[in-house]
Amino acid sequence: MNQTLRAGLAALTLAAAPAAAHANTLEQLLAERAIIAAADSIDRAVDAKQWATARAHFAPMVAIDFTSLIGGTPAVVPADALIQGWAANLGARKTSLHLRTNHQATITGDQAVLVSHGYAWNRMEGNGDPLWEVWGVYEHRLEHADGTWRVNGFTFRMTHERGNQWVKTTPSP
């Protein structure tokens, strides 16, 4: 089927659908965009060391699972403690870049799950190779309250890493 015919059929289908279906589709798209924007904003804030901005995207308590990255066990922690940990590890001397793509949001009422592929890069001078990088899958679990989507669960499943483990594990002053 050629592109013109396909576009025409899609337009006819949308035109024939009830107005309520359009509203649900638009609401769904707006919610998905808001969910992705929240996760993206966390990445930007962390890289810019804007900890209050990052914190604003989290519910008061967060279920975290970074076991594939740092060991340990999954836990439920205060969002303030999560942000304090990130701030200590990614202090002034450590540069980071977080990227995510291939977002897939699933929304059920006031709950959502955002799955995306991610890449993070850290750089800190002081002990050999200054670089460490990691690839994996992010899962953000969010709740919608007071008109805002906030993260109440956060998992990172590492698929590959390379570089200097010292950069990964050494907190930056």
| Count of structural domains within the chain | 1
**pLDDT at site 2:** 58
Pairing of strands 75-78, 58-65: antiparallel
CA distances from 42 to 49, 60, 77, 120, 171 (A): 10, 15, 17, 13, 20
CA distance 89 to 38: 22
| Domain enclosing residue 37, as ranges | 3-169
Q: Residue 11: its pLDDT value, please?
A: 53
Query: Which CATH number do you get for residue 154?
Result: 3.10.450.50
Question: How confident is the model at residue 173, as a pLDDT?
Answer: 85
Total count of residues recorded for the chain: 173
pTM: 0.84
C-beta of residue 71 within 8 angstroms of C-beta of residue 154: no
State residue 99 phi and psi, 5-degree precision: -130, 145
Strands 75-78 and 148-163: unpaired
Residue 3 pLDDT greater than 90, yes or no: no
The 10s digit of each residue's pLDDT in 84-125 is 999 999 999 999 999 999 999 999 999 999 999 999 999 999
Q: How confident is the model at residue 14 (pLDDT cuts 50, 70, 90)?
A: low
DSSP per position, 89-106: HT-TT-EEEEEEEEEEEE
